[in-house]
Amino acid sequence: MIATITGRTCLSLAPNAHIFSFVFVTMKMRTFGYFIFVLFVSQIALANKATSGFAADTLKKIIIENANNQVIDNAVSPPIRYFNGDVRAYHEGSYFFCDSAKMIDNELFAFGNVVIIQHDTITMFADELYYHGDSLFAYLRSKVVLQNNNDALYTEYMEYDMEEKKAYYRDKAIMVSGNSTLKSKKGIFDVKNNLAIFEERVTVDGEDFHMVTDTLHYKTNEEIANWTTPALIKTDSSEIYSLTGNYKTREKQAEFRGDAQYKKSDIIATADLITYDGFLKKVSMYGKAIYDSKTEHAKADSIIHSENDDITQLIGNASFVNEKNKASGSNILYSKKEDRFALNGRGEISDSTMFIIANQLDYNEITKKGVATGDVIWTDTASATTVKADSVYMDGTIDYMHASRANGKSLLITVLDKDTLFLASDTLKRFRSIVKRDSITYDTIKMLAADNRVEIFKNDLQAVTDSLVFNERDSVFTLFNRPVLWTDTTQMEADTAQIYMKNKKISRLDLNSNALVITSPDMIFFNQIRGNTMTGNFVDNALDELKVTGSSQCIYYMQDDEKAYIGVNQTDCSLMIFKFETKKIKNIRFYTEPNSTISPIDAVDHEAIKLKGFSWKLEKRPLTMADILQ
C-alpha cells in the first residue's frame, strides 16, 4: 500500500530550526540518477554500522522536520518514505537540507542542493547524500564542499564521520585554507583537530610559492604544512627541496630536513637542514652547509644568507672564495653589495695583492679599507713582505698600512737575496709620499716607516736605530738618530745612515755626519775609522770598498804573516779608501796631505788613541731574530 500526503508537510521542529530558513533561500532544485551510488554507500554504511561503537537503540532516529509532500511505500519492509520539496531533517545535532529525499528505517537518501550543518561551524554541500544514522556516517557525491570557518574542501566524493568530524576522500580534492590552496588525490580532513592529511600528488599554492610532495599534514588553524616525503617548494626566484620538513604559510617560515637543497638563479646550496623566512628573506643552512654559484663558493658548519641586503654569514670551519678574494676561519661575514669581509675569530683573507691572518678582521674590497686585530699577520704578496702585529689598519686607496702592538714590537719580514730580513719596532707604517723630481715634475713613492726602538736582524747585517724609512721606488733604507749597524766583526754608526738595495741585495751603505766604523778580528784590539761621511760599496752582500771623506781619521792595528800584532798606524787626512777581501782590510789608501804615525805595539796607549765617540756596543747588537722583539 502506498500512502500519499500532499500539500506542505511539517512534522516536528527541532531546536534551532531557524537555520532551515537561512539555508533554503539559496537552494535550487536538481534531478539526476543515483541508483548505483545508493547501492555503493549502503554497503559501506552496513560495514560502518557493524564496526561502530554505537548501539542502534542508543541513537535517536532521524527526524524529518519539513517537506512539501511525502509518499510512504508500505509494500516493502521496512517502509520507504519519499519526501519532495524543501526537505529538512535533523539528527544528533546536525541539520540536513535537500530538494528531495527518501528514508528507509534510520537511513537518509538526499538529492539536489544537499546541505548539512553541524554545530554551526561545519557546513557541507553536495548533489547527493547517503546518511547512515546508526553509524553517524555521511556519504556525499558530486560537487561536494566542506566548509569549516575559513577552510573549504572541494571534491566529487567524500565520506564524513559525523561523530569524529573526519572527512575522507579517495579521488582528488582541493582545499582552500587562508591564502593557500592544497590539492591531492586522496586524504583526510580531521575537522575536530584542525588537521588535513593529503596523500598522492600533493600540491600547495600560496601567495608567492608552489609546493609539490606526496604526503602532507596540514594544520588548518595554524596554516602549517608538514611533509614526510620528498618535497619541492618554488617561488618566483628560488627553489628548495628536502626529504622532510614543514612550512608555516602564514609566517612564511619553512624548515627543510634531509638532503636539503636551495637553488636561486645560478646559486646552489645544500645542508642537513635549511630554514627559510619569507618575510625576512633569510635562508639558514645547518650541518655540512655548501653554497655555490658561478663566481662564489662557500662552505661551513652553518651558512646564513640574507636576500634583502645580500649578506652571508659562515659559522664554523668556514671558507669562502670569489673572483677577488679567499677567506677562511671560524666565523666569516660577507656583504656582496659592499664587497666586504668581516672575520670574528681566527681566520684569514687574501686577494691578488695581500694575505691577512687575524683574530678579528673587517675589510672592504671596494673601499680597500680594513682593520685587523689580534695576532695579525699581514703579507704583501707583490713584495713578499710580511708584517706581524696586534693590530693593522689598511687603506688601499692611498696604499696606507699602520701596524702596532699594545705590548712588544711589530715585526716586518722580507726576503733579501735568499736570506730573511727581520725589522721590529713599536709601530710600522706604509704610505705614499709625493716627492718633487724637478721644478715641474712630482713622483709618488711608496714608503715604509718604522718608529721607536727600531731593530734589524739579518744573518749578515744587524742594526738598531730610533726610526727608519724605506723608499720602495729607490729601494733605500734611511736610518735616523744615530743608528748603529753591524756586519760580521764590523760596527758602524753615524747621525744618519742609508742602505741601498739592488736586486734584493745590499749594494751601498752611506754613513752621514760623524761617521765611525770599528772593526776587530779578535775583540782585543779595534781598528777605527772616523770621518764626516763614509760610503761603503758591497759585492754579494759583502763590504768591498769603504770611502771616508772629510776630517778622516784612522787607527789601524798592523799584523805580520803570523797574525801577530806588530804596531799601530795612526793617520789623519781628507780622504781614505779601504779595500776589503774575505771580510778583512786588504789595503788602505790615504789622499790629500796624509799625516801618519806608526808606533810599535808595545809603545801604544790603546785607550788614549781611541777616536772620539768610540764605543763598542756589543750589548745592543741583536744576535738572533728573537732579540729584536725584546
Q: Which residue has the higher pLDDT, 165 or 446?
A: 165
Phi, psi of 366 (to 5 degrees): -70, -50
Confidence class for position 59, pLDDT limits 50, 70, 90: low
Cβ neighbourhood burial of 540 (10 Å; 0-12, 13-18, 19+): exposed
Contact 182, 223 (CB under 8 A): no
**497: pLDDT strictly greater than 60:** yes
Nearest Cα to Cα of residue 226 among 242, 237, 206: 242
Look at residue 284 and tell me whether its pLDDT is greater than 70: yes
Choose from 82-96, 301-315, 539-553 the range with maximum mean pLDDT: 82-96
Q: What does the block give as the cell for 561?
A: 804573516
What pLDDT was estimated at residue 14?
A: 38
Which amino acid, residue 422? F
Mean pLDDT of 368-379: 90
Mean pLDDT (whole number) for 531-544: 89
Residue 15: pLDDT band (50, 70, 90) is very low
Which pLDDT score, from 0 to 100, does residue 471 have?
87
CB atoms within 10 A of CB 216: 25
Output the pLDDT for position 38: 39
The pTM of this model reads: 0.71
Q: What percent of the chain has pLDDT over 90?
A: 59
pLDDT at 363 over 90: no
pLDDT at res. 85 = 96
Stretch 91-98: mean pLDDT, rounded? 95
For 236-280, write each residue's pLDDT tens digit: 888 989 999 998 988 889 899 999 998 988 889 999 999 989 889
Fold equal for 1-171 and 475-623: yes
Residue 629 is predicted with a pLDDT of: 87
Yes or no: say if 37 and 45 are a contact pair by the CB < 8 Å rule.
Answer: no
Residue 58's pLDDT band (cuts 50, 70, 90): low
CA dihedral of residues 380, 381, 382, 386 (deg, nearest 10): 40
Q: Residue ranges of the domains in the chain?
A: 1-171, 475-623
Question: Mean pLDDT over all residues of the chain?
Answer: 86
CATH of domain 475-623: 2.60.450.10
Q: For residue 21, is pLDDT > 70? A: no
Determine whether domain 1-171 maps to CATH 2.60.450.10: yes
User: With contact defined as beta carbons under 8 Å apart, do 550 and 530 qualify?
Assistant: no
Q: Using CA atoms, how far apart are residues 496 and 553, in angstroms rounded to an integer?
A: 19
Q: How far apart are CA 290 and CA 269, in angstroms?
A: 5
Residue with more model confidence, 76 or 351: 76
pLDDT value for 580: 85
Distance of CA 354 to the CA centre of its chain: 22
- How far apart, in whole angstroms, are the C-alpha atoms of residue 216 and residue 126? 26
pLDDT score at 460 = 84
pLDDT at position 8 over 80: no
pLDDT per residue as tens digits for the range 175-226: 998 888 999 999 999 999 999 999 999 999 988 889 999 999 999 888 899 9
DSSP tag of 36: H
For position 252, what pLDDT does the model report?
87
Note whether 536 and 543 are within 8 A (CB): yes
**Average confidence (pLDDT) over 393-411:** 88
pLDDT for the residue numbered 337:
86
In the prediction, which pLDDT does 157 show?
A: 96
Which of 19-33, 38-52, 136-150 is the least confident region?
19-33
Structure confidence by residue, pLDDT tens digits, 565-615: 999 999 999 999 989 888 778 888 988 888 999 999 999 999 999 999 999
Determine the 3-state secondary structure of 52 from DSSP. Answer: coil
Q: Are 558 and 571 in contact (CB under 8 A)?
A: no
Q: What is the pLDDT of residue 179?
A: 85
pLDDT in tens, 429-485: 988 877 767 777 777 788 889 999 999 999 888 999 999 999 888 889 999 999 999
* Of the candidate ranges 30-44, 129-143, 173-187, 574-588, the one whose mean pLDDT is the lowest: 30-44
Asked if residue 506 has pLDDT above 50, the reply is yes
